[in-house]
Amino acid sequence: MNSFSLTILGASGAVPVYGRFPSSQYLVIQNKHFLIDCGEGCQLQLARYEIPIHKIDHIFISHLHGDHYLGLTGLLFSMHLQKRKADLHLYSPPGLNEIILLQLKYSRSVLNYSLHFHSFDPTQKYQLLENDALTVETIPLFHKLPCAGFLFKEKPKQRRIDKEQLIKGMLLQHIVALKTGQDVFDEQGKLLYKNEDFTLAPKRSLSYAYCSDTAFFEPIIDQIDEVDLLYHEATFMDEEEAKANETKHSTARQAAEVARRSRAKRLLIGHFSARYKDLEPLLAEAKSVFENSSLAIEGQTFTIEA
């Protein structure tokens, strides 16, 4: 699998319809595995697309409307039945811990693994996670229920060894030092290998922004500036803008305007209303503003290349 890839598990709006499932996505960055939202039927989709659920250690829930988390309890129990042992981290606005723990209480269940709940205020920008490869921060959105998107950003990468320049007899520790950007010296301080002679520039760091349920909201534009891949909800077409405003959702044209103004490299639209069986008109509307737009279709994997 590509080192930065996104698989769509669900991109329907409030209800599953026309074979479309509610919101859920599977993201892999440098062999780190994340689930973003977990709508009804998520675990069926994970099984359908043969995604290894026990590699998922972090699940991000954008808000507590049911179409974004109602698949979570079933997934947690399946992990338990399959003898998961690794800790699982859940990130959400306040309240998810009460929902999950209440269900565990009344089913008299004790999971084989530990759940760690990380609550955040969706109206504020927070860094939720940092590891050796990336950071994850919230994107405050504008919806009827407090809601946040998520911005995944790779950290600066190491320089790459130019294998054609390696010299026979070089020690492994010397190669490791070169990869981290160091020059290599002998015990007397004499330069043995100059870094730039044996390495290539690091690959560009990549980014992904997930903008869940939201009306058109200008404040997010600066935060997601020049993002490599942007998912933005597009519940309605422009002719239903009044309905979008009422329900605090976006039109396909508005999603594309966010992509254009944030200078995103690619846009995915999703969270489609049940009124649209044919999605091509929504795609055409988005493309009229931002050409590099695609539909978030279940089962499709989108890769980002440096």
Q: What is the DSSP letter of 133?
A: S
Contact indicator for 241, 257 with CB cutoff of 8 Å: no
- At 47, list the tokens: 């099984």
Q: How far apart are CA 306 and CA 300, in angstroms?
A: 20
Q: Which residues pair with 5 in a beta bridge?
A: 28, 303
Which residue's entry shows tokens 């979008």? 244
Annotated catalytic residue within 37, 57, 67, 186: 67
For residue 134, what are the β-bridge partners?
154
For this structure, is 67 an active site residue? yes
3-state secondary structure of 207: strand
Tokens at residue 295, please? Answer: 């539909």
Between the alpha carbon of residue 33 and those of residues 4, 24, 29, 89, 132, the distances in Å are 10, 14, 7, 12, 14
Residues identified as active-site: 67
